[in-house]
Structure 1
Amino acid sequence: MASRILIADDNSANCELLEAYLSEISCETEIAVDGQDTLDKVASFKPDLILLDVMMPKLSGFEVCRKLKDDPKTRQVLVLMVTALNEPGDIERGVHAGTDDFLSKPVNKHGLLKRVELMLRLKDIADENERLRRYIQGMEDSAGPEGEES
């Protein structure tokens, strides 16, 4: 199954460029044009990864990231902030908001693809770990209180 990547940027040229770069990997993409649209698209598209611009209308990337990471339903969605901001305070704000990683603008195609592939691989590993955890928990629950079959 192809990974789902949401590109959140209010600049259509940036969206087109990122979408063109991502065409080299197996993924479905969707575009969000502002902070609120990003939250709406996360609910409907259910992305594995969000390429999130920081400076957007309605809600900033920082606010969007904080909302996603505070919600148990969306906490596991990976967020890669794509930003022209590069001051230490900006990076600190992103870390406090819960971002998983940063990528500086202008975006380097090979750097983007390598970062996205790595993040998607990490997501697959985390998903597999969660499946195994649930399986083991189910086995323990069915074994009863002293490890006996019930």
Structure 2
Amino acid sequence: GGEGALELADAVMDACNDKAEFKPLYSWDMPFKERIELVARDVYGADGVDFSAEASRKLADIQKRGDANELGLCMVKTHLSLSDDPGVKGAPKGWRLRIRDVLIFGGAGFVVPVSGSITLMPGTGSNPSFRRVDVDVETGRVKGIF
């Protein structure tokens, strides 16, 4: 019981006192295509990256910006797989990450490569539930919530 907890606490304290050797995956002056390929290979285990013509054009335009070296990378893909296909589970081999579009969120300082068929923001359906919510003026009761 208690002795094991003390040993664990000592191990945690020792780890906290170790010198951190953090090293970013890429340098900020690396071209965006190279950054994306590095993330795809080293983080997701892809064999490489295939860029749509539109994504390549956008990356080239962004790369020409004077502030390109100040922009980070924020990859957008499914959370359900290491690949860009939500149906592929585990650690797949022999696949390539497909980048279909690239967005830039200048205020946040991010270049955002988009892979797979993912929705970036929750959208409202064509018949959202809020249209069925109302107040009965005679009773003052809200209806249509449940």
TM-score scaled by length of structure 1: 0.26
Whose helix fraction is larger, Structure 1's or Structure 2's?
1
Based on CA coordinates, which of the two structures has the bigger radius of gyration? 2
